[in-house]
Structure 1
């Protein structure tokens, strides 16, 4: 059964977000052990439960990979650029580059974007997804929330908040 308070969890997830040197940086305190977090960011089966990045192979070794948010969509590049043990991963996600660092109960994520004004959209979307992951790692049976479904769970309010925080023009809300 899904958590009845996922919208509250999304809204209140302790995400620290900033833009530094042209990169979106997200830091979030999240449930789970280092091993659980590593599996959550590298294993396709785990990623398919919470993330829009669902690769065609584990993201544990450098090399080419493709990702689909949903099985019937065209793939985007998810090439693994670097790994360091089971605590750091850098991979492409389409035109963006995602860097993940796991430190005892915290994920640090660096997103290099082709256009920095996109940071408001990425920050809002990842906050929704990370709240789902946090719920799952806390033992709740919370389904994945990605794409347009995120609009029903406070995404627009998060996007507007991040747009203001980052000093970006208030962007357009996506439509299906």
Structure 2
């Protein structure tokens, strides 16, 4: 199950993206914090583990293009909460155990409003790849323009409709 809503109550909008995963929180935590695992599913690479508070660099990857963005891990409460900045955005990952695995909630506070459907489509594809990685069937990371070949445009359009209706 995937669910996405938009909280417009603050000065910055927060995309709330929820995904049910079949692995326990401890396993999901490793995928969210280990640079080697992040490199297999996330839209960025990490210069260091995200499992301890402190500064690091997250590098956006789009083909041969690389864009370094400063990041600060504010909280890393294994295996339930990971909170960090990524450039001007803030990402808060909450991991809740369920009978079937983990309820993963991402609260992505956007520095720039109006891109929430694009961001939701991107996280949708990334967490699809994450689920396959966790299932032991890695498919390879989908980043940047490569997402266009994997249904990103249709997902973006669907999220534009659902997020504007919410």
Instruction: State if a TM-score over 0.5 links the two structures.
Output: yes
Q: Which structure: greater strand fraction?
A: 2
Q: Which structure: greater helix fraction?
A: 1
- Structure 1 stretch 149-158 or stretch 60-69: which is displaced more? 60-69
Unaligned residue ranges in structure 1 (runs of 5+)? 1-13, 169-176
Find the residue that maps to 1:120 and give its secondary structure: helix
When the two structures are superposed, what TM-score results if normalisation uses the length of structure 2?
0.87
Offset of residue 72 of structure 1:
5.9
Find the residue that maps to 2:39 and give its secondary structure: helix
- Structure 1 stretch 96-105 or stretch 83-92: which is displaced more? 83-92
Within 5 A, what are the aligned runs for 1:5-84?
Answer: 14-20=1-7, 21=9, 22-70=13-61, 73-84=66-77
1:45 & 1:53 partners in 2: Cα distance? 11
User: Does 2:88 correspond to 1:88?
Assistant: no
Unaligned residue ranges in structure 2 (runs of 5+)? none
The count of corresponding residues between Structure 1 and Structure 2 is 155
Contact 1:53–1:93 (Cα < 8 Å) also in 2: no
2:22 & 2:139 partners in 1: Cα distance? 14
Find the residue that maps to 2:54 and give its secondary structure: coil
Offset of residue 33 of structure 1:
2.0
Indicate the RMSD between aligned Cα atoms, in angstroms: 1.6
Find the residue that maps to 2:46 and give its secondary structure: coil
Contact 2:60–2:69 (Cα < 8 Å) also in 1: no
Offset of residue 84 of structure 1:
2.0
